[in-house]
Amino acid sequence: MILELDHIFKDYIQGKMTIPVLKDVTLHVEEGEYVAVMGPSGSGKTTLMNLIGCLDTPTSGSIRLAGEDLLHRNDREMSRIRNRSIGFVFQSFNLLPRQSALDNVALPLLYAGVPRKERRERAAAALTRVGLEERMHFRPTQLSGGQKQRVAIARAIVTGPALLLADEPTGALDTASGLQVMELFQRLNEEGMTVIMITHDPEIAAHAGRTVLIRDGVLSSPRREEALS
């Protein structure tokens, strides 16, 4: 089991009010799975993604990622786990505009203390893996939206993470580019990568091997998929 969330509650405090966002969420993901977490805006899926990605901590409950207990960790330890175990892909790409594709992909390895020669070799291999071997020295402004997202995916996988976490990865793309990106996620999963994708779109969720539904902070049975779509 690569991810174990058990009885997760997440509340936010606004003034004197307590706002419950996640309510008794339990989610287990096996190594090599491709899971879509689908729900409408305001359902709690972004909060759930932040917990899975070690960007936030629950009010109560337990989280284990790649065998590590994520509770009661300090910021430095959480940063180490994020860098080593999780690859992030965001809707807005989050690329450095003045850096080449190669340098953008190598950035997580810089943070991990990998020597420069090895960083560049591994970044080049990751870009080749996503079909951008001829665009390594292009800056983001010289790339299409689909190419930018492929650079972001290469950056996410360059450290060899246990989990690839994607948040609405086709939201800023046209239909054709979105399909190409989804095909890439499918191929990475077939090669053994565990993928969790956050989406509101049933067509995107349909690419996953399993769909988990969330509404009002509660995970629902797959039998309710039609009701949410």
Q: What is the pLDDT of residue 74?
A: 86
**Are the C-beta atoms of 180 and 146 separated by less than 8 Å?**
yes
**Are the C-beta atoms of 184 and 157 separated by less than 8 Å?**
no
Given the DSSP bridges, would you call strands 34-38 and 86-90 parallel, antiparallel or unpaired? unpaired
- Tell me the pLDDT band of 227, cut-offs 50, 70 and 90: very low
Average pLDDT over residues 88-115: 94
Lowest mean pLDDT of 27-31, 43-47, 124-128, 225-229, name the range.
Answer: 225-229
Q: What is the CA radius of gyration of the chain?
A: 18
**Are the C-beta atoms of 21 and 12 separated by less than 8 Å?**
yes
Measure the CA–CA gap between 38 and 44, rounded to whole angstroms. 10
What are phi and psi for residue 57, nearest 5 degrees? -125, 150
Whether 225 has a pLDDT exceeding 80, the answer reads no
Region label for 222, one of left (φ > 0), alpha (ψ between -120 and 50) or beta (otherwise):
alpha
- The H or E element containing residue 8 is strand 3-14
Q: Is the pTM of this model over 0.85?
A: yes
- Tell me the pLDDT band of 153, cut-offs 50, 70 and 90: very high
Whether 170 has a pLDDT exceeding 60, the answer reads yes
190-221 b/e (C-beta count within 10 Å ≥ 16 → b): eeebbbbbbbbeeebbebbeebbbbbebebbe
Q: In sequence order, what are the beta bridge partners of 68?
A: 65
Rounded alpha-carbon distances, angstroms, from residue 41 to 165, 168, 205, 208, 224: 18, 12, 15, 20, 17
What are phi and psi for residue 151, nearest 5 degrees? -60, -45
